[in-house]
Structure 1
Amino acid sequence: MTYGYCRISTKQQSIERQIRNIKAAYPDAEIIEEAFTGTKIERPAFDDMINSAKELKDSGEDVTIVFDSVSRMSRNAEDGYNLYQDLYNRGINLVFLKEHHIDTDTYKGAMRNQLAMTGEDTDLIFQGINAYLLRLAAKQIKLAFEQAQKEVDDLHQRTKEGIQTAKLNGKQIGQKQGAKLTTQKSVAAKKFILKNSRTFNGSLDDKECIEYLKIAPNTFYKYKKELRAEQQ
């Protein structure tokens, strides 16, 4: 089974380029599309794909996941590297069209190309060389994810500077006071609260809801207030 994961940060962006690149290299890939930022936890299509890939691999099927670039997998260096290692250890193949040097096949090559032991004193040297080669391969993977995260950090910094400049020039930034913002995340959270919170005849208390949704308490209570108002 071959998956091709394509992600854009907003639904206004075009995802066609990623699909075209993956299909050119893997015509039979099942394309998974998503419009979420790579620094956010909530990526339901991605999570479903990963879970399906693990189940298929556990059943004995070969599984490959193809990304146009490493940033499509994750823009958080630590999370991306940990997920890479988890999938690699499970035997799931990862392919990055723009960074083939960190494909899992490349990493496997570093493992296979270790120097053979001879039973002589020189084995101490060989062991050191093998350990160095493996650490070098792992470092290349980490660097790729760190670079993806740096791109996000740089973008956030440029955005922050742009907002500061706009404010100094007297421009309106963000919503006007009293305006209500509706996002896909807020809709999903409010739906969960309405169904599960004890306030609305569910079974979970406030703390349990907050922990499940992974949102700030202030945000949670704001959603509850809005839900009460909507029911009046």
Structure 2
Amino acid sequence: MTVMIFGYVRVSTKEQNEAHQLDAMQELGIEGRNLYVDKASGKDTDRPKYLALKASVRPGDTVVFESITRLSRSMTDVKKEYEWFVENGVLLRFINEPMLDTKTDEQGVIERAMTEIILTLLAAFAEKEREEIKRRQREGIESAKKRGKHLGRPKRSFATMSSDERQTFIFEYDAWKTSKQTAVQTFERLEIPKATFYKIVKEYENINAINK
């Protein structure tokens, strides 16, 4: 049976900046069909693409993450999910934390213990960082409310996108235009409605036409 290499990418719905993670996966030669992308919080592992990934992997396959934080920001979940992959014979690779990569050969007792210690520490830092992000968000919202600032989300358009969001849109747009994926796959990966997707496409193409 042929073993596969999968890539998992996760960003929060507010950050929308998965472009650099996708670039890292492509540099490793991971095919687009083997990439699973979630735009969801790392507070738990109840994410559609992550669950689909777990249902797809087989013993001997490899799953690549940019960082342990892309797996989860919950210390309990990180350890539980890490063990799930190990117990099911799936190899793990972490681009930013290669010391946590699993291997085909059996680890010694000391090496295994060291891996568990490092995993626990990094997972704890990830959970602490998430708590700090939540705290800063709460403080920002409260500060905005005191100033009477409107907190509603602006209408989606290419003009209102952040730099990272634009890079992600262009990446997915190019994949669609070069027939690497369908329009449906594209706006689903971008997590925007069909009508909004085509509106942004038209806006983007008009900008390109003007700049030519």
Could you tell me the TM-score, scaled by structure 1's length? 0.57
Letter paired with 2:115: A
Identity of aligned residues (%): 28
1:150 paired with 2:128, answer yes
Deviations 1:26-85 (A, max 9, x none): 4457111221111144311110111221xx22xxxx210001111111111101111101
Matching residue of 1:67: 65
Alignment of 1:33-182 (within 5 A): 33-53=37-57, 56-57=58-59, 62-105=60-103, 111-112=107-108, 130=110, 133-172=111-150
Is 1:16 aligned to residue 19 of structure 2?
yes
Query: Paired residue for 1:209?
Result: none
> Across the two proteins, how many residue pairs are aligned to each other?
149
Secondary structure of the 1:166 match is helix
Name structure 1 gaps, 5 residues minimum. 115-129, 176-232
TM-score where L is the length of structure 2: 0.62
- The equivalences for 1:191-230 within 5 A come to none
| Cα offset, 1:141, TM superposition | 0.9
Give the secondary structure class of the aligned counterpart of 2:21: helix
What CA distance in whole angstroms lies between the structure 2 residues aligned with 1:48 and 1:174? 32
Q: Give 1 or 2 for the bigger CA radius of gyration.
A: 1
Asked whether the 8 Å contact 2:6–2:35 carries over to 1, the reply is yes
Task: Please provide the CA RMSD for this pair.
Answer: 2.5
Write the distance in 2 (CA, Å) between the matches of 1:167 and 1:26.
46
Aligned letter for 1:43? R
Q: Is the 8 A contact 2:64 2:94 kept in 1?
A: yes
CA-to-aligned-CA distance 1:91-150 (integer Å, 9 cap, x gap): 1101110111111129x66x24x5xxxxxxxxxxxxxxx4xx533221101112222212
CA shift in 2, pair 1:12/1:149, >3 Å? closer
